[in-house]
Structure 1
Amino acid sequence: MLTNVLQFISSRGNEYFCEIDEEYLTDRFNLTGLNVEVQYYQYALDLVTDVFDLDCDDDMREQIEKSARHLYGLVHARYIVTTRGLAKMLDKFKKADFGKCPRVMCTSQPLLPMGQSDVPNTSPVKLYCARCEDIYNPKSSRHAAIDGAYFGTSFQNILFQVYPSMMPAKTQRRYEPRVFGFKVHAAAALMRWQAMQRDDMKDRLQAAKVESGFEEEDEEMESEDELDDEMEGEQVAPPL
């Protein structure tokens, strides 16, 4: 086992990563194109593979270590969609190393890390729940700072294609709002949804500077509100 890889994956905040096989890291074919993505690429690769012997100052060493972490993350995204990588991530998934879904109706379904983009430095890692098919932010700030590109957009889908038995049954339970034990009327929920859609449409039209009937409607509503305020403010003289 490579010493620097072991040290990296055992560090706090790197629990989402699995160990990449030394054979995979030393196969140049698996690293195609990464030399233009990583600064000090060769030094970073030497550091990851435990053959780094450059005598440099602390600032240079720090830059190379940063590049080595970035290189490991990019290789990791490729490795976890291989047969060996999927098996290692599956083991972590079974142990819920990535956390459990915070949604009550999902009954602690284990999560999987995923990226919303395959381009580095675009968005941080998210956690995917296969039961409710939604994504969540990591609880830990250390995990929330990990680049989502280190896991990619396809990993979680490939894992369930390779291991279909691990796909959980979709939850049929939904939270139903109630008032004193009675369900909230469906029409009221629909009206709230329609109001939200209307406000969203108005904001988008105003942002695009598109003329619509919303302005006139708002002015009429403001006039009515002012009239109501005036009528409420008037005091009727008491009878003699």
Structure 2
Amino acid sequence: VDPYFLEDAFNRTNLEKELYRISENTVTKFIRHIKFDTKVSGYDLDETEEISADVYGLMHARYILSTDGLKEMKKKYDNAEFGYCPREKCYQQKVLPVGSFFEYKENNKHKIKNE
């Protein structure tokens, strides 16, 4: 994900509601952790890593639907970075990665922290 995409507050709109129900300010702290490996106060290292991975995953999902993200995906597809279909009748057709779910699962939400 382009670092400028992570920095732009518009791209983080409602991210806190979508995943954690924590403040936008706390989501910003996790973005900072992703970029600079900083400590997030109030969270232990395991929680920080887990939540940061989830925040990054959601930002990545948003990024690949942006104009720049789609251009990058096309370039990767054209270069067959995701490989080829293993079936013989596909004649080495290039493939794309596919996610199964559109929304983050409720049971994966983290406990709400007092801020």
- The reply to whether residue 94 of structure 1 matches residue 75 of structure 2 is no
CA contact 2:40–2:48 (8 Å) conserved in 1: no
Amino acid at match of 1:28: A
Q: What are the Cα deviations for residues 138-159 of structure 1, in whole angstroms up to 9, with x where unaligned?
A: xxxxxxxxxxxxxxxxxxxxxx
Between structure 1 and structure 2, the one with the greater Rg is 1
Structure of higher RCO (CA pairs closer than 8 Å, 6+ residues apart): 2
Aligned residues: 101
Q: Secondary structure at the match of 1:73?
A: helix
SS in 1 for 2:77: helix
Cα offset for 1:115? 2.0
Cross-structure match for 1:30: 11
Supply the RMSD in Å over aligned alpha carbons: 2.4
| 1:108 matched to 2:92 | yes
Q: TM-score of the superposition, structure 2-length normalised?
A: 0.74
Go from structure 1 to structure 2 and tell me whether the alpha carbon gap of 1:54 and 1:69 turns closer, same or farther (over 3 Å shift): closer
Partner of 2:57 in structure 1? 73
Is contact 1:47–1:68 with CA below 8 Å preserved after alignment?
yes
More strand by share: 1
Partners of 1:90 and 1:25 in 2: how far apart?
A: 21
Greater percentage in helix: 2
Match of 1:45 in 2: 31
- Cα offset, 1:67, TM superposition: 0.8
Is contact 1:80–1:86 with CA below 8 Å preserved after alignment?
Answer: yes
TM-score by length of 1: 0.38
Task: State the one-letter code of the partner of 1:48.
Answer: I
Unaligned runs of 5+ in 1: 1-19, 123-240
Cα distance, 1:53 vs. partner? Answer: 4.0
Residue identity matched to 1:62: D
Write the letter of the residue equivalent to 2:76: K
SS at 1:99 equivalent: coil
Do the aligned partners of 1:41 and 1:67 also contact (CA within 8 Å) in 2?
Answer: no
